[in-house]
Structures are given as structure tokens and as C-alpha cells.
Amino acid sequence: MNRTAIVTGGTRGIGRAISARLSNDGYKVAATYAGNDEAAENCARDIGVTCFKFDVGDFDACVEGIKKIEAELGPVDVLVNNAGITWDAPFHKMSKEAWDKVINVDLDSAFNMTRNVWEGMRERGFGRVINISSINGQKGQFTQANYSAAKAGLIGLTKALAYEGAKKGITSNVVAPGYIDTEMLQAMKPEVLDGIIAGIPAGRLGKAEEIASMVAYLASDEAAFINGATMTVNGAQYIAG
């Protein structure tokens, strides 16, 4: 294995589990992050990946960031667009700032990153683009008009890329996690968390490693014929048609 993978937001939560899994599978992994240096240092130390700090919502920062990654680790074969944020509010109270910020970090980022590795993937005749959406992009969610729109947007983007990349050996797929046991959920009130778990037929939260194994499969040669798909990993909480 001599492939290079970028995992955006790869230093914490689900992204960190993806970085760890791909590193363990033999990829040279660039884990990107926004500002939490301590988490990045821990990630580099514990799982031996290289971390790069830049804002995936900023196109020019992505141009520079990808240049640095390629200079250090080589051309990018696998791109996992995982970085994401939430800024929840009921729609009648949602600010333009909350809308713009979530669309920028959760959706524009996928354009900013993918656009800057796409031509290289086409030239080399191989690529894997894996976009991390969400159950709430599939079904919508109260107080998450911005997040649901961004995460649904990733699914449309992925389908279009699947058509365009197919003849060039590039696959583009979505992983749509349900509720995963990460810091975000651990910060919730116990009664809210119990309510969420009660709505999951599997009777538990998902594990970040379960998302990482789906990503690892989609990145592999074995998954070459899977293109434009949305892989739902949610313990049967929402079964998309």
C-alpha cells in the first residue's frame, strides 16, 4: 500500500477513527483540523498520522493546504470529506450567519477540497471521494435546516461526481451516519441521550469505528464498482429507500 489519504476533521471524533483505521490499513494519512492543536498533537502522537491546520471552508486555504500535503505525503488518492459543524436553531430564529457558516463548513468544504484533488485523480486514473453526510441530511431534523440542507447537498454532489469520475477510475460515495458515540453526544443531557437511544432499533449509539470500517471499505479496490451510493450506518433508525 502506497496510497495517500486526506481525512478532513481527522483529528477528533469520527474523523480520528477514520484516520486511525486508514493509517492502520497502510495509507499515508493527512488529518486536517481547524484550530484544536491539542487534539491534533494527541492524534499525531497516538496514531502516527500527519496533521495539517487549515479552514476547509476557505477555498484558497484548501489550495495551499493540499499543496503542502502533496509535497509531504504524495498525490492524494483518497479524500474523506468529514469535517462538519452544527449551529442549531429553530428556523424562525435561525440567523443568516448560522445558515452561512454551516453551509460553508459542511458543504462548500467538499467543493473546496474535492476540486483541488480531482484533476490529479483524473490524470492518474484512480481516486476515492467519500463524503460524510448524516441521517439528518436524509430525513431532515428539527432545528437543523442549515445542517440538513448541507448534508443533503453532499448527497447530490456525490451523485454528480460519480457520473463524472466513473470512466477515470474515480468513485464518489456518501456515508450517512446515525447517532455516533462522540464528544458531541456525550455532552448532551442524559435524558436527551436516553430519548435518542430509545429511537434506535439497535438499542445503542453507533461507534466511530463502525463508520471508519465503512469508509475503509469504500476506499479499497474491492469497492471499485460502488459509485454514487449512500451507505447508511444507523442501526436501522432510518431506512432510506
DSSP 106: I
Distance CA 148, CA 140 (A): 5
Interface of this chain with ligand NDP, residues 109 to 168, rule: CB under 6 A: 132, 134
Nearer to ligand NDP, 184 or 226 (CB): 184
DSSP-H helix ranges across the chain: 13-24, 37-47, 59-73, 96-103, 109-124, 135-139, 145-165, 183-186, 190-198, 208-219
DSSP 190: H
How far apart are alpha carbons 133 and 153 in whole angstroms?
9
95 vs 224, which CB is nearer to ligand NDP?
95
Cβ 163 to ligand NDP shortest distance, Å: 24
Hey, is 85 helix, strand or coil? coil
| Residue 102 exposed, middle or buried by CB count within 10 Å (0-12, 13-18, 19+) | buried
Q: In terms of DSSP bridges, do strands 50-53 and 127-132 run parallel, antiparallel, or are they unpaired?
A: unpaired
Number of residues lying near ligand NDP (CB under 6 A)? 30
From 27, 147, 163, 238, active-site residue: 147
Verify whether residue 147 is a known catalytic residue.
yes
Residue length of the chain: 241
State the Cα–Cα distance between residues 72 and 33, nearest whole angstrom. Answer: 17
- CA 49, CA 51: separation in Å to the nearest integer? 6
Return the residues of window 74-93 that contact ligand NDP according to CB under 6 A: 82-85
Of 47, 51, 57, 73, the one binding ligand NDP by CB under 6 A: 57
Per-residue burial over 40-74, b if 16 or more Cβ lie within 10 Å, else e, is beebeeebebbbbebbbbbeeebeebbeebbeebe
CB of 167 to ligand NDP, least distance (A): 29
Site for ligand NDP in 188-227 (CB under 6 A): none
Amino acid residing at 121: M
- Minimum CB distance to ligand NDP smaller for 183 or for 191: 183
Q: Which is nearer to ligand NDP, 3 or 12 (CB)?
A: 12
Residue 149 or 166 having the CB closest to ligand NDP: 149
Taking CB under 6 A as the criterion, the residue among 6, 22, 56, 170 binding ligand NDP is 56
39 contacts ligand NDP (rule: CB under 6 A): yes
Q: Is 177 in the site for ligand NDP (CB under 6 A)?
A: yes
* 126 vs 232 by CB, closer to ligand NDP: 232
Find the largest Cα–Cα distance for the chain: 52
List the one residue from 14, 30, 47, 62 that touches ligand NDP (CB under 6 A): 14
Among 19, 29, 33, 51, binds ligand NDP (CB under 6 A): 33
For binding to ligand NDP (CB under 6 A), which residues are involved? Answer: 8-9, 11-15, 32-36, 39, 55-57, 82-85, 105, 132, 134, 177, 179-180, 182-185
